Amino acid sequence: MTDKPNFLPERLALLADLNAAQYLTEGLLSGKEDAPAIALNKTTEPLPHDGESRAELAPVRDLIDDAMYKFRDDRPTSADAWLAPRLHATLRLTRREAADRRIWNHLALGVAPDYVVWRHLVAKSEGDPPKVAAARFRGPAYTQVFSRLWWAAELYRDGPDYGPVVIACSNQEMLNTALRLDAIEHRPTAQAMVRLIKRGTVTNTREVNAMAAAINASAATLMYDVVAPDAERDGRPLREWIEAAESAPAVPRRELPVGPYEEKSPQRSVDVLVDHFAELFAGAPVRGRRDAGEETGSEV
């Protein structure tokens, strides 16, 4: 199985897509080889904020080690809900910084390729050898192993509260499907979806997938930001939170960390969308759900 890199620099870095591609060998994707750490790190570039403490590599690697240890006897998917808020609070990136794929390429290949293999090594079908999809190392934000966790934490958190992130990331379709929707960038929409899961209206992955499809279709005719306006975003709390990284301790492992002290989503807006989405979901086709008037079937 792919092992932890035998060489780790002191700082996180940027690894261009073209450079990352040359290390995505069949041996690595099948978990039979290690990433060539020294050669790989010679092709990286420093982060724009390289001189800041949030660019230190050790806190991120320690966090990943703890995730693999904590969930060593569970399904690897269980680690998502625990790691997402803590990764977000450790890196303390702006959205502009997080949109740079190069930081995620380096994190996956130069810092924690063993985690990528541990988390995503699967067989496509019975009889096929297990393999990691290349996009888990180098791919779009909603697929790449660490990028999708960071963006899930960013889009599902409610101001400083990471509680909704844990709920969202406990259902894989909130990562695989809902995270791809443009509507999810509207904070009351994200919080309304999480609330429907929390109260049990939407339960399994099939139902989340159906809810996401219905919400996305409805967004073509109903502007959610008009019927459910969000609070105006103030950039100061995020800047202060990022600056505080210079003196912040390691993120807590047992309780949730605290995010930037931004204003939460307006509850009235969330309430409006919860009611609307519940109606959409009631009429949405769900594979395995019985006809109207009967009880909803459980997922096998």
Query: In the 8-state DSSP scheme, what is residue 233?
Result: P
Cα torsion at 106, 109, 111, 112 (round to 10°)?
130
Residue 295 banded pLDDT, cuts 50, 70, 90: very low
**Per-residue pLDDT for 158 more than 90?**
yes
pLDDT computed for residue 257 by the predictor: 98
Query: In the 8-state DSSP scheme, what is residue 255?
Result: S
Which has the closest alpha carbon to 83: 149, 12, 156?
Answer: 149
**Dihedral sign from CA coordinates of 33, 45, 58, 54:** negative
Residue 116 banded pLDDT, cuts 50, 70, 90: very high
pTM for the whole thing? 0.94
Strand partners, 89: none
Integer CA distances (angstroms), 207 to 222, 240, 284, in order: 22, 39, 9
Average pLDDT estimate for 90-119: 98
Name which of 163-167, 239-243, 248-252, 286-290 the model is least confident about: 286-290
Residue 289 banded pLDDT, cuts 50, 70, 90: low
